[in-house]
Chain A
Amino acid sequence: VLRRLALLLVLQPAIAGAHELLHETRPGGAVAVRVYHPGGAPLADAAFEVAPPGGGPLLRGRTDRNGWLAFVPDAPGTWRVRVADGAGHGAEIPVEAGASASTPPPGGGPAWLLRPALGAAVVLLIFALLQRALRRRRA
């Protein structure tokens, strides 16, 4: 019995470690989170959900083959990432989003005005050249 208890004590960190998950985050415009086992093996194809500060999950998906997931925070504060696979492994990871995390303006800047103006100018130029050519031909 003592030998069995001693074996259990020796192996206990490894058993507990199998249910522990580590992670690393790379904040920026988008936040990338990698989840992996203590031995370094990635938690691939595991379900995850992302919740904004004070809110319920708004993004669900599965990690890629290297254990990565990514999202773009659109509000500052602490976001929560929950990852779990079907074997009892899971983690809730807080991700801090800075004040720069804000909803981008719709339309992508002045392109909405430049495109029609530039296109209309090109059309007018083509018709002006056509008119000039026709006038010369008539003369």
Chain B
Amino acid sequence: VHVPDGFLSPQITLPALGAAVPLWALAARRHFGPEALEAIPALGGLTAVAFALQTVAVPVPGGTSAHLVGAALLALHRGPLAAFACESLVLLLQALFFGTGGVTVLGVNALALGLLGPLAGWLAFLGLRRLSPRMAHFAAGWLALQVSALAVAGALALQHRLDPGYLPVPGGASLLSMMLPSLAVSGPAEALFTLAAMAVLRRARLDGAAA
């Protein structure tokens, strides 16, 4: 789902970084201050799980691959802003040590995978939890991944529109290649994972903000 380095020009990466920096500062103040001491171990564990999930890519027919993100679970546990900070850490480590994504596109990837997707999942949960908490968890996982994939496809399409020489892949092709695996494979898998993980967290009384 990540955008690699070199796919987006500074016209997109710099404004995205500009939007991400104040949100990182806000998230650090809200969720990583002394008052959040007791929440740190569970948050760290879920971030580690998110990292592990994102490194295991499953081949998808058509020559591409898909992976889970785990950011919806973080949003349900501590809120979308905490998910944004934790997912940003995952993306930074992946860019620095594993060559996945990239530092120049960190803002874009963090906003797409860490904020927009988890925020959509969180809102879906808020809207559906009275009907059925399980359905709300499932929907949150599924929707978070779709919105993240859509946001990444949107960034790629915007780059093609701004300068087709920089990214020759047309927006429609980016949209298809991002959304088909997301809708058919990784979305349902992320939904099932979120549902199962929330059930485990509830039993362990660690379901945090989504309780």
Q: Is the CB of B34 within 8 A of A138?
A: yes
Do B48 and A123 have beta carbons less than 8 Å apart?
Answer: yes
Q: Complex Cα distance A117/B51, Å?
A: 9
Contact check, A120 vs B40: say whether CB atoms are below 8 A apart.
no
Q: Across the interface, do A124 and B48 meet the contact criterion of CB distance under 8 Å? A: yes
- Does A72 touch B at the CB level, under 8 Å? no
Check: A8 CB closer than 8 A to any chain B CB. Answer: no
Contacts of A123 in B (CB 8 A): 44, 47-48, 51, 89-90, 93
- What DSSP secondary structure best describes chain A's contact surface? helix
How many Å from the CB of A106 to the closest CB on chain B?
A: 8
Q: Note all chain B residues with C-beta closer than 8 A to A128.
A: 44
Classify the secondary structure of B's interface with A. Answer: helix
What is the CA–CA distance of A128 and B48 in the complex, to the nearest angstrom? 12
Does the CB pair B44–A116 fall under 8 Å? no
A14 at the interface (CB under 8 A from B): no
Task: Render A120-135 as a binary contact track against B, CB cut-off 8 A, 1 for contact.
Answer: 1111101110110011
Cα–Cα distance between A86 and B129 once the two chains are bound (Å): 70
Chain A residues with a Cβ under 8 A of chain B: 112, 115-124, 126-128, 130-131, 134-135, 137-138
Could you list 8 further interchain pairs (A-B, Cβ under 8 angstroms) beyond the known A127-B43, A128-B44?
Answer: A112-B55, A116-B51, A119-B51, A123-B47, A126-B44, A131-B40, A134-B37, A138-B34
